[in-house]
Amino acid sequence: MKFSGVLLAALLSLALVPACLAQSSDEQQQARLAEIKQRIETLQQELNQVKGERDQLLKDLEANEKDISELLQRIDKIKSDMQSRGEKLQELKQEQQQLQESRRSMQRRVEQEVAAAYRLGRQEQIKLLLNQQDPQHIARQLRYHDYFLKQRSRVIEDYVSTLDQLATVSSGIEREQDTLARERDQLEEKRRALVSAQNTRQRTLDKLARQLASKSGELDQLNSDRSRLQRLVDEVGRAIASLISPSDDTPFAKQRGRMHWPTSGRRANAFGQRRANGITWTGVTLRAREGAPVKAIHRGRVVFSDYLRGQGMLIILDHGDGYMSLYGHNQSLTRAIGEWVERGDTIAKVGNTGGMSQPGLYFEIRRNGKPQDPTVWCRG
């Protein structure tokens, strides 16, 4: 399969932009990234052209796995919202409990004040003035009396304010409970849709397995997948050549043997190891828990974040000086093309997209498009 002349010329033109782009504004960089993204989308369309029954099945698998990835992201979002609302609801209930205790305490004080006022009667000040006592004593008593009246007024005002707050909090609790009920319904709906999508995916995988029953069929598929990934890496590398490279106090090359693996898991193969069909591994597959975080091994910029046939949900980071890291078969991707990430940032979640039978992360490091042994770069 060959690139159309227009697409190849467009991608090559990105690589021939003068070096002065390094001094261009951030807006120009963003515009260039958007252009690169468009070129990659065009490349994806060409790579995904349906040629036969197997290609159609792979296209169906891609659609299934994209749906599943999107559903899982929506489920995570709903769960996160529900957790936040649950915490807010708990805070409101605690506030309600405190206000109810304050209300009971204030109610007793109000009752005491009302009883005291009743005992003194309505003419306390007049009675004091008519009393035949020393004027200084009367003045002192009037001041005390005024103080008690103001205190009584404050107690009543605080009580009314507490009642108002209690009504507001109770209303807030009802709203949060209603919202939580709706979100639970949405979550259940998404889960049912997820089960349906996963069943559809499994049926597609079964059909593909029958298509790839022979060794020749499996070899053709693996060669096609490898070719597709190599073309993507080569064209992305050419396209980003004119962008400002990631800057870091410690360049990628200086981190040789010091970086952490992108996720915790058992290495299922060795770099360069021959597979049963004769093809050698150009990366390492890490068997990890589904949904486990996938982390950037070094600071860089996202230059690809999408589905690639054979690799599933794939994200590629550019680390400058020709170095890239690739993370494939993810459940979902959390970063978009053009974003900068720091070492240790979560960029994806472990999955089994791309037709994998069990969850795991396929990980590669490349320099100028050529695969490097990840065990030389990552420790542990």
The residue extents of the domains of the chain are 80-198, 225-379
Contact 68, 313 (CB under 8 A): no
Residue 223 CB partners (closer than 8 Å, separation 6+): 279
Q: How far apart are CA 5 and CA 37, in angstroms?
A: 18
Number of H helices, E strands in the chain: 7, 12
Name the region of 291 (left: φ>0; alpha: ψ -120 to 50; beta: rest): left
Three-class DSSP category at 72: helix
pLDDT by residue, tens only, the chain of 380 residues: 333 343 334 333 434 344 443 444 567 667 767 777 776 767 666 655 545 556 677 777 777 788 888 888 888 888 888 787 778 778 777 777 777 777 677 677 666 666 666 555 444 555 554 555 555 554 555 555 555 556 666 766 766 777 777 777 777 778 777 877 888 787 788 777 877 877 777 777 777 666 555 545 556 666 677 777 777 787 777 767 666 665 656 899 999 999 999 999 999 999 999 876 678 899 999 999 999 999 999 999 998 998 888 889 999 999 988 899 999 999 999 999 889 999 999 999 999 998 888 899 999 999 998 999 999 999 87
Given this structure, which CATH class describes domain 225-379? mainly beta
Q: How many CA atoms lie within 13 A of 317 on its CB side?
A: 30
pLDDT at 199: 77
Name 348's Cβ contacts closer than 8 Å, sequence gap at least 6.
293, 294, 313, 315, 327, 330, 331, 332, 333, 334, 335
Asked if 44 and 311 touch (Cβ cutoff 8 Å), the reply is no
Query: Residue 333, Cβ neighbours under 10 Å: how many?
Result: 23
What's the pLDDT score for residue 3? 37
What H or E segment, with its residue span, contains residue 306? strand 300-308
Residues in CB range of 298: below 8 A, 6 or more apart: 248, 252, 255, 259, 317, 319, 323, 325, 343
Q: What's phi and psi for 89, nearest 5 deg?
A: -60, -40
Q: What is the pLDDT of residue 361?
A: 97
Q: How many CB atoms lie within 10 A of CB 225?
A: 19
Other C-beta atoms closer than 10 Å to the C-beta of 159 total 18
Q: Which helix (H) or strand (E) holds 139?
A: helix 135-211
With tokens 């060795």, the residue in question is 270
Tokens (6 digits) for 352: 């089994």
